[in-house]
Structures are given as structure tokens and as C-alpha cells.
């Protein structure tokens, strides 16, 4: 009889803004080999990372204590374009660091997307008008580019938008 491999993963990212100008972003991943949480706090409106903490409840990945220490390298970084390269450069590429870096990046994506919700509510209802609205929104705020499927390369919302020509 063949052995069946079973794997499932649950990931949840939450963002909370407090009245004191602090944004708290939490990414939790639960799967067969890892049950962990990364939490980043950033100042508003400049999104400078003030704290980066983790909690590992279960892990089969070696090196988690080192990865947790390396999260502290993110302190002082401003959330913005190029976060993946910045986080990878500060944390390293061993398996535990890669996993926590992924979760830290998810926290940063959550922060960026949460700041766009007011603008998203202003979108026109007609598809042809909304496409222009969203294209202009990404041109004004390049931090949105590639942060979700709607604002990724190849999306019809970004037809004709040259991100390299935006500031």
C-alpha cells in the first residue's frame, strides 16, 4: 500500500491601528511542520519598524532561535518598496530565517494594503473607470505594486502602467 503524504497550511495576517500612531501587524502560520507567529509594530505614517517579535509554538525546522534573533535586524527599517530583498538581506537564507522572513514580509504587505482601504472605497463602480482609478493609485504609491493579485504585473488594472517611470 502506498504511503500518502498529507500537508495543510493555514496563514492569517492581521493589522491593527491604535490611537497612539502605532500599527501592529501579525502573521500566523500553522502547518504540519510549523506553528508560529511574527508580529511587527511600525509607526504611522512613516511605517518605521519599531518592534519585531516572534513566537514559535512548534517547529520541525532547525535554527529557529537564530531566526528569531535576526528579526531584530528589521528594527528601524521603513516599510516600502523592495521589502523582500531588504528582509532577505537582513535575515539570511537558512531555512528558519527564510520562514520567518516570509512571515515578516507578509506583515509588511498587510501594513501597506491596510493603508489603502480608504482609497479603495473611493473607486468608481464602472469597470472602465475603476481601472484608471487603480492605475493612478499604484502610480502614486508604488508600495502597492505586487502586494496583491490586483496590483501585480499582468493585472488588467495595471494595463499600460510603467512602474519604472513612477516616483
Rounded Cα distance between 157 and 3, Å, is 45
Whole-model pTM: value is 0.75
Rounded Cα distance between 142 and 139, Å, is 6
Helix H or strand E encompassing 96? helix 95-114
pLDDT at site 4 = 62
Summarize pLDDT for 147-162 with one digit per residue, the tens.
666 677 777 777 777 7
**Full strand arrangement of the beta sheet holding 9-17:** 9-17, 22-31, 34-43, 49-59
- In the block, cell 512613516 appears at 46
- The phi and psi torsions of 115 (rounded to 5 degrees) equal -75, -10
pLDDT at site 167 = 47
pLDDT at site 146 = 72
Domains and CATH numbers, the chain: 9-114 (3.30.390), 117-165 (no CATH)
pLDDT at site 129 = 77
Q: What is the DSSP secondary structure assignment for residue 2, as one 8-state letter?
A: P
Taking 50 as the pLDDT cut, the residues of the chain under it are 167
pLDDT at site 164 = 66
| Helical packing angle, 95-114 and 83-91, nearest 10° | 150
* All three cell numbers of 122: 473611493
Amino acid at each position: 500500500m502506498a504511503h500518502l503524504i498529507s500537508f495543510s497550511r493555514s496563514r492569517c495576517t492581521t493589522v491593527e491601528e491604535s490611537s497612539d500612531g502605532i500599527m501592529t501587524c501579525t502573521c500566523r502560520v500553522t502547518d504540519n511542520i510549523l506553528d508560529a507567529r511574527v508580529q511587527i509594530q511600525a509607526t504611522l505614517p512613516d511605517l518605521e519598524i519599531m518592534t519585531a517579535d516572534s513566537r514559535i509554538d512548534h517547529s520541525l525546522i532547525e535554527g529557529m532561535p537564530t531566526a528569531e534573533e535576526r528579526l531584530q535586524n528589521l528594527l528601524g527599517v521603513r516599510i516600502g518598496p523592495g521589502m523582500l530583498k531588504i528582509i532577505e538581506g537582513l535575515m539570511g537564507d537558512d531555512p528558519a530565517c527564510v520562514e520567518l522572513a516570509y512571515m515578516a514580509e507578509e506583515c509588511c504587505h498587510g501594513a501597506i494594503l491596510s493603508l489603502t482601504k480608504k482609497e479603495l472605497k473611493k473607486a468608481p463602480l464602472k469597470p472602465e473607470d475603476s481601472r484608471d482609478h487603480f492605475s493612478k493609485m499604484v502610480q502614486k504609491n508604488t508600495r502597492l505594486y505586487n502586494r496583491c493579485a490586483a496590483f501585480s504585473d499582468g493585472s488588467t488594472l495595471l494595463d499600460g502602467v510603467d512602474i519604472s517611470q513612477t516616483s
